[in-house]
Amino acid sequence: MTAAPARWLERLAGARIAAPVWAIVAVGFATLALAFSSRASIGLVMPALEAEFGATRSLISAAAALGLGVMAVLAVASGWLADRFGPARVLPVGLACLALCLLALSQAPSAYAVVAIYSILGGIAFGTAAMQVVAAMVTRFVTQGRGFVMGLAASGSTAGQIFIIPGLAALIAAVGWRAGYAMLGLVVAAMAIATWRLLARLGPTGSMPGPESAQPRSDADAGQGFLRSFAFQALFWSYVICGFTTSGVIETHLIPYAIACGFTEIQGATAYGLLSFVNFLGITLAGWLSDRVEKHWLLAAIYTLRALSFLLLMRIVGDYPALLAFAVVFGVADYATIPITIGLLAHYLGVARMGLTMGLLAAGHSLGGAAGALMAGVLFDLFASYAATWIAAVVLAQAAAVLVLAVRYFAPRREGAAA
């Protein structure tokens, strides 16, 4: 990164940040951009898979649900591996698995093969080239301005979708879903090689603890005691709900829902791209605010805004501006939870086991996403409607806000700290 942009970013972060950290942020950003876009693509190709294979929406939704289930298991394992052996050894493997998944999908002979490839190989990839590994990299090297820097790295999870999802939609319209997946797979393979070479060149900065002490923040982090801490439990279940209301019902079903409401695939993908653009702004802003605003109230407000956005989603039928308005409102509150949740984890549980603790939350997020993806597909097949799904999302998102505020008022008394 050149000197001028680096100084500008340091002013926003409110701290001086070493050059190798910016390289790590860039790697994390690019990895998450490709991984999250590839994961979300199942919603984009769902109508094409139904048309080619005669598959039901429940079956394709099962692929997303099973993939998130496998991802949940791998999230814990990859987080532990990142803590033990270093993120530099984990991210390239995850990207390589993702490339194999996409290339295999492009040759899938049946809908059941799609389910197997996406759920098993894709689940391994999504659980390895993942947020918890990036969080383990960044939090070890940044003590001041951590929220903003983590927000920048995490924003790759949505920023990449601004171009990748609409671009993949246009590619599918031009050459078909198989060729689209094959081309995306080749891009990811190139990224895997580039990431491996860059992190190998950085050496210890990709795998060893940084200046912050690796000692736990509290006794709850000793052994497996943190699993019983009130802060961990409340944040875990709020993140399960986060997965249900994002990767479960929106990433998997927004585009199919838009098509059911009378819009074209390109219109649905464009709305998703707008959502992703606002996501990028929202997650970056949330990271910046988390260094300056009380974290619990900020996170609760984001969950409340997400709940309100689903009420808008229920009114988009035949009204494309309303769909775009939903994309903006939901985008502000979508991935914005990530840097704040990571900040709260670091405060209550320390950074020595950030890979493992964030991996456990990511597992919960995946399980919540799996439940949302499968439930929405089953309810649509039964009632030809997503109404019940959106109502459930409203209630659950507001419940997540209550859990976060419970941490604010009850965890300090139990763990002796307040963020």
pLDDT band at 300 (very low <50, low <70, confident <90, very high): very high
Q: Token match 């939870």: residue?
A: 337
Tens digit of each residue's pLDDT (9 = 90 or more) over 123-143: 999 989 988 888 877 776 666
Query: What's residue 285's pLDDT?
Result: 87
- pLDDT digit string, tens, across residues 368-384: 988 998 899 899 888 88
Residue 193 has pLDDT above 50, yes or no: yes
pLDDT for 412: 57
Mean per-residue pLDDT over the chain, rounded? 82
Confidence of residue 406 (pLDDT cuts 50, 70, 90): very high
- What pLDDT is attached to residue 205? 44
* Mean pLDDT, residues 295-308 taken together: 95
- Mean pLDDT value of segment 201-212: 49
Confidence of residue 229 (pLDDT cuts 50, 70, 90): confident
| pLDDT bracket for residue 395 (50, 70, 90) | very high
Name the CATH architecture for the domain at 17-414: Up-down Bundle (1.20)
Q: Give the predicted TM-score (pTM) of the model.
A: 0.72
pLDDT tens profile 208-227: 444 444 444 443 444 456 77
Name the pLDDT band for 88 (thresholds 50, 70, 90): confident
CA geometry: angle at 283 spanning 17 and 316, to 5°? 165
User: What share of the chain has pLDDT > 90, as a percent?
Assistant: 32
Residue 170 has pLDDT above 70, yes or no: yes
Q: Which of 100-114, 269-283, 305-319 shows the lowest per-residue confidence on average (mean pLDDT)? A: 269-283
* For residue 39, pLDDT beyond 90: no
Please give the angle made by the CA atoms of 379, 395 and 67, to the nearest 5 degrees. 50
Look at residue 156 and tell me whether its pLDDT is greater than 70: yes
Give the span between the Cα atoms of 164 and 333, in whole angstroms. Answer: 21
Query: Is 90 exceeded by the pLDDT of residue 167?
Result: no
256-270 tens-digit pLDDT: 899 888 898 888 888
Residue 196 has pLDDT above 90, yes or no: no
Whether 102 shows a pLDDT value over 50: the answer reads yes
All structural domains of the chain with their residue ranges: 17-414
The pLDDT value given to residue 292: 83
| pLDDT digit string, tens, across residues 308-364 | 999 999 998 889 999 999 999 999 998 899 889 988 988 888 767 778 888 889 888
Mean pLDDT, residues 191-197:
89
